[in-house]
Every structure is written in structure tokens, then in C-alpha cells.
Structure 1
Amino acid sequence: MPFLIALAVLVIEFTPAHFIYTGPLLTAVPALAGVTMGPKGTTAAAALALAISVATATYNAAWGSLQVYTNFLALGLVSVAGFISSSTVQARRQRELDQVRRIAVAAQDVVLRPVPGRLGPVLAGSLCLAAGTGARVGGDLYEAVQTQHGVRMIVGDVRGKGLSAVRAVAAALGAFREAVHYDDDLVEVMNRCAAALRRQVAVPGAYGQEVLLEGFTTALIAQVPDEPVVQLINRGHPPPLLLHEGRATPLVPAVPSPPLGLEDLAPGLVVKVENYPFVPGDRLLLYTDGVIEARNPDGEFFALPEIMEGMPAHTTPAEFLEQLHQALIRHTGGDLADDVAMILADRLGSEPRTPPGGAGAG
């Protein structure tokens, strides 16, 4: 609007309509800019208004008249006031934004917290990146918990983004964190997560509106007992990678199962636990499709198995994930198109189980 007013003044002053008094119109240019634009925009609008005033005064041979100097004085005062106003508004908005971000980070730490570095028979690490938002919570979810049944981990991907995806992530993780401690059957843990998502198909939003959650969620649950195996349930999720003696192998389910929320597409669905060898020295990577679907500028996908095989063997899970993160950034040029979540578990040697909460728990 400020620049449209400036254009209108130019049209009036340099056409036969120049008999119209345009001083108040030019004064409105920095005033409106101070309300609708930042300090830089206000400065640009004031400079443009000043340039137009000089040009019109010269064109109309009005230099020396009291009206011209009055217009310049009014324009200068309004420009200064507009600049101060826009600077104050911008500073206040920045403070409010910083406060919102601090609250968001605290909430994110509750929803997606880093996994502990040691969980029973495994060393673990986690990484989560939300695409294009600067936040850490998107549609991806992960968790790892030590229980009396072994170490139980989940990685999932909610279809969609935004608030509805975050609601679904919170529902699934809440169900998982509760069920892993009480359900012996790993299938029942997955069923609890599915039930929690079904209950959240429509939840109350602001002002009484309904907020519809997304249609389905891919999920993978892994259990690492004391025995040298890993037990998996895969509901439409990318298969985890097992790094054994320098070779990365995808643990593809024998019978594919649909994602959570799409059970109607598979009548008579029977979900089973599948066992795979997981011996000391092995590495298990659980991840979301944002990793393997990341593209470089030439459209090539991120070669996750090859990247894993080429990484140094003697690194901690945190170091390994950081190197994987850097490789992903280099591949995409820092432009992630989808959320990314990963859990890395290193299998240790056999040892007596430590109860959750430490040796002194209970």
C-alpha cells in the first residue's frame, strides 16, 4: 500500500492532474510502512517519498515556497516516527517469537526425548530432524525403553505434517511408553499404539472445531532380549538395516503388513513377530523414509546401506549418527524434503540384566 500511494502521487504530479495537493499523500507513505513493514521497509518507503518530493518540487519549480519546506518537515517527522514504531513492533514480535520457541523446545523434549546411551544389552543413540521448520518434531516418532522383557524400540512416520501429525506422534508414543512395561506380547504393544491412533481420528481443537488426524502411520517395533537376536514387527515401515561384519542388510519382513490405520485393506490380518540374529558387535539402524528418500540436486536417492558400510567401525552410536547426519546434509545440500528420525543400537556381549532404573531400583 505505501508504494501504491507513492505511485499514485507520481501519476498525479507528472500529469495534468498535478493541481491536486499531494503532500498529505506522501506523508502517509512512511506512516503506513511503519505499521505494515519492518525498519528496512520503512526506511525504503521514506527514501522513496523523499525522492518523489524532490522530483515534484523540481518539476513544478516550487523550490523556495513555504509549502515545499512544510511538506519536507512533515515527511521527515513522520518517517522518524514510523521507523521508531516499526523497530519497536519488530523487537516485541521477536521477543514473543523467542518465547514461543522456548516453549516449543520444552514441549518437544517431552514428546521426542533423546534415548539413553546405555540400555541393557545395547548402546544406543538417536537423531531427529524436522524438514524445513527448524523444529525437532514433525511427523516422525521414536523411542527406546529398557523393560523386563528386553530393550524395546519404536520408529514411526505419521502421514502429514503440522499440528495433526504432532498429535498423532504424542498419541502413539504415549501408548508405546505405557504398554512396553506391561505387555509380554510384542504384537499387543503394536496393537496398543494402533488403538491410540484410532482414538485420535478426531480430537477437539480450538474454538470447538474438530482437528482431523492423518490417515495412517507406518511403524516398526524392535525388541532386543538377552539372547543374541532382535525381534521385529513391521507395519509398512522401511526395513531396519543390520550392519554385520561390515555389510548392511535390510531386515525385510517375510509377510508385509499394512501401516497402522489401514487394517481394513488387509482382512484377516495376522501380525507376527520375526526373529533375526543380532550378535555382539552388530549394529542395528532403525530409520524413517526421510533418510532413504532424500535426494541430491541430480535427483539421486541417499544410498544408506553403502554409506553405513563405508563409515568407521569403532565409533559410538552418537558419533555414528552424527557422521550419518553430515553425509545426509552433504547429499541434499542441507535441504531436507522430509522429516528424519533414526535410532542406532550396538549389540554388546551377554551380561546379567539390570532392572529398569538401575541396580538399586526397587
Structure 2
Amino acid sequence: MAIPVADAFLPPDIHVAHLLAVATAVTAVGAGTRATTLVGSVALLALVAAGVERHTLLTESVLVELGALAAVSALLVVFTHLRDRHEQALVRARSVSDTAQRVVLRPLPERAGPVWLASEYHSSEADAYVGGDLYASARTSHSTRLIIGDVRGKGLASISDTAIVLGAFRAAAHRDIPLPELVAYVEDAVRWGLAEFSASEADLAERFVTAVMVDIPDDEPVVHVVSCGHPPPLLLRRAGAVVTTLQVPEPAPPLGLAFGGMYDGMYVPAIFPFHEGDRLILYTDGVTEARDGSGEFYPLAERVAIWADRAPGPLVEAITADLEQYAGGRVDDDMAMIVAQRGRVPATA
């Protein structure tokens, strides 16, 4: 609308009506097909108005400008239509992807029996919810079970192995079977899954999953831990802000390495005191191997002691924020963490 008004006050040898194409082009960049069509039509009417004002509407120059503007507007309308179709397809694909990823890595409940839970997950892949790290929880009739693990590799390429581990754990963890039997079941499922989906035997030998599985009985102030080549959990005592590393005396190799008889031993759980108010911190190496600008690893145990008075949710939030700041705002590896706090143990225990 401004261009034909300005055109009326300009000398006859200065003609700016060709700038009307800019309005249509700018609209096409940030708007949809309808808006581009509307602005293109108004631009054509404005060019006609400018030609009428100068009494040059039927001259060869103005007719050429009208034809060129109509052609440019039509092309921009087609462009926005195709772009909108691609964006809709991308939104649908993103929605399906997000749903599928959230099915694989379900959020933990805030409470499982007498145990309060909080968790944090970060994938190294942009816009991805699932990567090479994993966690899950399950309830039996008398205990809460947790798993945290790290698939060899990171990002989207490791999702299939993540799904195998989580599927096996969820299928068996709710049953009233001893923790060693649960670990053996998951190990068997991982070996089958890796063999089924590996392209070659060489590839199979290089694929494994480190994991920690814990069982927290409802009626006993202890925690049972089986470690399969995973970083040891931390135990934050309710009193004294004491952080203890739970080193398992008889750790097992990572899941998947028992293939071909590499490990035929029994899974032996370690038992540690876990009283009311104590917090158990499970994590992957994406936390402890994050580095600052000088290359120093993140001191998780020292940082946890600083926030010893915090509940699981605020504790996880504090560690996550501190970790990102420590690493300069960017954590390059997959990262997962669970904080579990023991509630009241029945007096009959």
C-alpha cells in the first residue's frame, strides 16, 4: 500500500513498483500459503493502482511488471505449499519418534513403595530423548528394583541395545525371583538380542552393556546390589552428610560379554545398609567423565555432599545444573542418573 502512494509523489522517471515483489517474498519466508496468496494478490492490486495513478497501466513496461510480479507470486505460493507439506510430514514424524522414544525410556514414578525416586536423562544427540544410557524401575510384591546402564557407544545408534535391556528388565523385574536370577535373565536376553541384531561375530564381541541392578526390600533397611562392570553407586547417609562408594566385592562383567562362555559364574549381590532417609545415587559415566576447561573429571561424590539435606528431586536438579556449568554448558556424552531415598521401614522389620 505504501509503494503506490510513494510512487505518486516521485518524478515520472523514477518507478519503484517493482519492489512490490519484496512484500510477497518476505511473507513467503515466514508465513503459509494463504498469507502468501493474499499478499501477492494485494501486491498486484497495488501495482495496478500505481499504473492507474500515472496513466501508464496499459504501457508495455507496466504490463511486463504485472506479468513478472504475477509469476513470482505464483512461484512463491507453490513454494510455501510444498514447504508446508514437508513441515507437516516432519511434525508427524517427530511426534511418532518422540512417542516411540518415550515408550522405550519411560519416566520413573515419583514413588515406588517406600522409596522416593527422581531421575535425570540427557542424550548426546540433539532433539533425542533416548541414547546409549538407560534406567528403569519395577515393583515386586515386597521390594523396589532399579536398573541403570550404559550401552557401548552413544546416541541414536545404540537405541536398539537400550530397548533390549529395558524390555528384558521390565519383563522379569516385577516377578518375585532373587536378584541374581533377574540379572541372569537380562544377561541371557542381551546375549540373544546382540547375536540376533549384530551384523557379524566381530561386531558382537565389541558390543556390551554395563549395568547396576538393585533391590530395595520394603521391610528391611538394606539394599542389594549387583554390578556388571558399571560405576559403583553412591550412598548418602541421612546423618552427617557422609557419602560412601558402594564397591561390590564380586562384580560381574558387562552384560553381553558372557557370550561364548566368557563368564559362567553366579551373580553375587552385595548387601549394604540403607536406612530411612538415606539416598542412593545411581549414575552413568556421562556424569563422572564430564570434564571442565582444564580437563578435570567431575567430582560427583564431593558435589553430592554439598546438597546432603536435599530431597531426591532437588538433589538431581542441583547436580544436573552444576554438571552443565562444570562442563561449560555442554555435556557431550549420554548421561543418566537416579536418586532413590528410603522411606520409613516398618517397625516389625
Relative to the length of structure 1, the TM-score reads: 0.70
Q: Which residue of 1 aligns with 2:338?
A: 343
- Match of 1:156, SS? strand
Alignment partners' CA distance in 2, 1:115 and 1:352: 28
Q: Which residue of 1 aligns with 2:175?
A: 182
- Match of 1:201, SS? helix
With over 3 angstroms needed to count, the CA separation of the structure-2 counterparts of 1:230 and 1:310, relative to structure 1, is same
Report Cα offsets for 1:215-266 as digits up to 9, x if no partner: 1000100011121111100000011110113122211121332101112585
Alignment partners' CA distance in 1, 2:121 and 2:105: 8
Alignment partners' CA distance in 2, 1:71 and 1:352: 93
Contact 1:172–1:197, Cα closer than 8 Å, also in 2: yes
Post-superposition shift, 1:108?
A: 2.2
Work out which of the residue numbers 287, 302, 306 in structure 2 matches 1:291.
287
Report Cα offsets for 1:178-221 as digits up to 9, x if no partner: 2122252211111111111112125479xxx99x7771000100
Letter in structure 2 aligned against 1:95:
Q
Q: Give the stretch that moved more between structures: 71-80 or 158-167.
A: 71-80
Alignment partners' CA distance in 2, 1:242 and 1:152: 16
Post-superposition shift, 1:287?
A: 0.9
> Does 2:301 correspond to 1:309?
no
Alignment partners' CA distance in 2, 1:71 and 1:160: 61
Work out which of the residue numbers 106, 119, 129 in structure 2 matches 1:126.
119
Contact 1:219–1:237, Cα closer than 8 Å, also in 2: yes
Q: Which residue of 2 aligns with 1:113?
A: 106
Report Cα offsets for 1:119-172 as digits up to 9, x if no partner: 122111122111132221111111111212411110011112455521221221
Q: How does 1:247-326 map to 2 (within 5 A)?
A: 247-263=242-258, 266-311=262-307, 313=309, 315-326=310-321
Letter in structure 1 aligned against 2:107:
P
Report Cα offsets for 1:49-93 as digits up to 9, x if no partner: xxxxxxxxxxxxxxxxxxx99999998777655544444333332
The gaps in structure 2 that reach 5 residues or longer are: 1-24, 31-60
Alignment partners' CA distance in 1, 2:68 and 2:299: 61
Contact 2:194–2:256, Cα closer than 8 Å, also in 1: no
Alignment partners' CA distance in 2, 1:156 and 1:284: 15
Work out which of the residue numbers 145, 149, 156 in structure 2 matches 1:152.
145
With over 3 angstroms needed to count, the CA separation of the structure-2 counterparts of 1:78 and 1:304, relative to structure 1, is farther
Alignment partners' CA distance in 1, 2:318 and 2:128: 20
Q: Give the stretch that moved more between structures: 293-302 or 71-80.
A: 71-80
Q: How does 1:57-68 map to 2 (within 5 A)?
A: none
Q: Give the stretch that moved more between structures: 328-337 or 271-280.
A: 328-337
Relative to the length of structure 2, the TM-score reads: 0.72
Letter in structure 1 aligned against 2:344:
G
Post-superposition shift, 1:333?
A: 2.7
With over 3 angstroms needed to count, the CA separation of the structure-2 counterparts of 1:131 and 1:243, relative to structure 1, is same
Alignment partners' CA distance in 1, 2:336 and 2:314: 16
With over 3 angstroms needed to count, the CA separation of the structure-2 counterparts of 1:299 and 1:96, relative to structure 1, is farther
Letter in structure 2 aligned against 1:256:
P
Work out which of the residue numbers 203, 215, 220 in structure 2 matches 1:223.
215
How many pairs align? 287
Q: Which residue of 1 aligns with 2:188?
A: 195
- Match of 1:151, SS? strand
Alignment partners' CA distance in 2, 1:322 and 1:238: 21
Contact 1:131–1:336, Cα closer than 8 Å, also in 2: yes
Letter in structure 2 aligned against 1:270:
M
Q: Which residue of 2 aligns with 1:139?
A: 132
Alignment partners' CA distance in 2, 1:195 and 1:71: 75
Q: How does 1:46-61 map to 2 (within 5 A)?
A: none
Alignment partners' CA distance in 1, 2:82 and 2:297: 44
Work out which of the residue numbers 66, 88, 92 in structure 2 matches 1:99.
92
With over 3 angstroms needed to count, the CA separation of the structure-2 counterparts of 1:131 and 1:71, relative to structure 1, is farther
Alignment partners' CA distance in 1, 2:169 and 2:103: 14
Contact 2:118–2:340, Cα closer than 8 Å, also in 1: yes
* Percentage of identical aligned residues: 39
Alignment partners' CA distance in 2, 1:322 and 1:199: 37
Alignment partners' CA distance in 2, 1:246 and 1:293: 23
Contact 2:133–2:154, Cα closer than 8 Å, also in 1: no
Alignment partners' CA distance in 2, 1:285 and 1:164: 27
Alignment partners' CA distance in 1, 2:324 and 2:180: 36
